[in-house]
Amino acid sequence: MGIRADLPYEASECGPDRTDTAVYAWVLEHRQVDPEALAAHLSLLGLDPGGAQAALDRLVRLQLVHLDPREPGQAQAVAPHAAVHAVCAPLEERMAELHTRLAAQRTMLAGFLPHYLGASSGRAGDSVEVIASRSEVRAALEYQSHSCGSEVIASQPGGVKSPEAMEESLRRDRALLSRGVRMRTLYHHTARFNASCQAYVEQVSVSGAEYRTAHQLFGRLIVFDRHTAFLPLADGSFGAVVVRQESLVAYLCEIFDQTWALAQPFTAAAEEGLAQVAQAVDDTIVRLLAAGLKDEAVARRLGMSLRTARRHIADILEQLGAESRFQAGVAAARAGLLDE
C-alpha cells in the first residue's frame, strides 16, 4: 500500500485552497456549521458557494474542524499544530517503518557482495577487475567503504558532482569519518569557484576530512587502505577498474602523495582572493599552451569545460597581445611566466 493512500488532502506548494481557508475562518468565528450561511459567505468573497460542503468535508478529514456529535450544527475549529500531529503522525510512523525495512533489505543484499567481488577478482587474477556498470561500481564502493579501516585518498578532477552523487558521497564520507578513517581528497583549483563544491567541502571538513587543490591532476583515483584502488575506464563510461596488485597500488599512492605535498589547502576563491586564484589558473594555461596542448587537453587538465577553457585562452591571448598560441608562448617566456 502506498503512503499517499492515507493522505486526506491533495498537498499544494501554493498553500491550502481559498475555499477551504474561508470555510475554516467562518467556522472559527461562528463555532457552527450552517450550509446556507456558509454559501452566502463564500458568495461575498467571490467564491463558488457550491463548494462549501466539499470544503467542510476536507477540513473534517484534515481534523481542522471537529463536528459535535451531541449537538448537530455545532462545530469547533482545531488549531493547525494539533491537526498536524494528528494527520502526520501515522504517515511518519509508516515512513519510519519503510526506512527500517529498506535498511534491512540493503543489509541483506550487501551480504552477498563479498562473495560476488571475491569471485570477480578471482576471475581477474586477484589483481585487476573491470566493472562495467555504474550500479556495480556503487556497490563495490559501498563495500570498500564499509570495510575500510584507516585511510581513503582520492583525486577528483573537476570536483563538480550532481546533487544525487554529492548526497551519496556525503553519507558515505560521514560514515567513514565517524569511524576515525582519515580522508584526503584532491580537487582542481577551479573547484574553489564552485558553490556546490565549497558547501560540500565545508560540511565534510567539519568532521575531519582534508581537501587540497592543484593546477593539474593526474586523473580520477580512489584508494582504500592503500590496498584497493578504483580507476576510471579509458572509454569514459561509468565503469571502473579495480586494482589490488600491491606494487601498482603503492605506485598510485606515491603519485597521490607527491601531488598532495605540492597542493594547496582548499579555500573559497573569495577567501584567498579572486584575482590571485584566477591568475594562478591563467599561469597554468600559459604553460600548457606553450607545451603545445590543444584546447580540449587544457580543459581536461584543469577540470573545466571546453567553453570556459577557450574563454580563458582568448583572454590570455588578448592580455599578451598575441594572435596565436605560439606568439603567446614567446610573449609569456619574455615576461618570465614560464619560469619554474
pLDDT tens sequence across 230-265:
999 988 788 999 999 999 999 999 999 999 998 888
User: With the C-alpha atoms ordered 129, 250, 215, 140, is the resulting torsion angle positive or negative?
Assistant: positive
Instruction: Give the position of cell 519510519.
Output: 96
CA distance 121 to 229: 13
- Per-residue pLDDT tens for 42-76? 888 888 888 888 888 889 888 888 888 888 888 88
pLDDT of 317 over the 60 cut: yes
* pLDDT of the residue at 337: 61
CATH numbers and ranges of domains, the chain = 3-101 (1.10.10), 122-270 (3.30.870.10), 273-334 (1.10.10.10)
| pLDDT level of residue 125 (50, 70, 90 thresholds) | very low
- On whether the CB atoms of residues 25 and 31 are closer than 8 A, the answer is no
Of residues 44 and 103, which shows the higher confidence score? 44
Q: Give the burial class of 49: count Cβ atoms within 10 A of its Cβ; 0-12 exposed, 13-18 middle, 19 or more buried.
A: middle
Mean pLDDT for the chain? 80
Q: Beta-carbon neighbour count of residue 156 at 10 Å? A: 20
Ranges 101-105, 186-190, 240-244: which has the least confidence: 101-105
Of residues 247 and 80, which shows the higher confidence score? 247
CA distance 266 to 186: 9
* pLDDT of the residue at 122: 45
pLDDT of 229 over the 50 cut: yes
Query: pTM, whole model, 2 decimals?
Result: 0.53
- Per-residue pLDDT tens for 261-307? 988 888 755 455 555 656 667 777 877 777 777 888 777 777 677 88
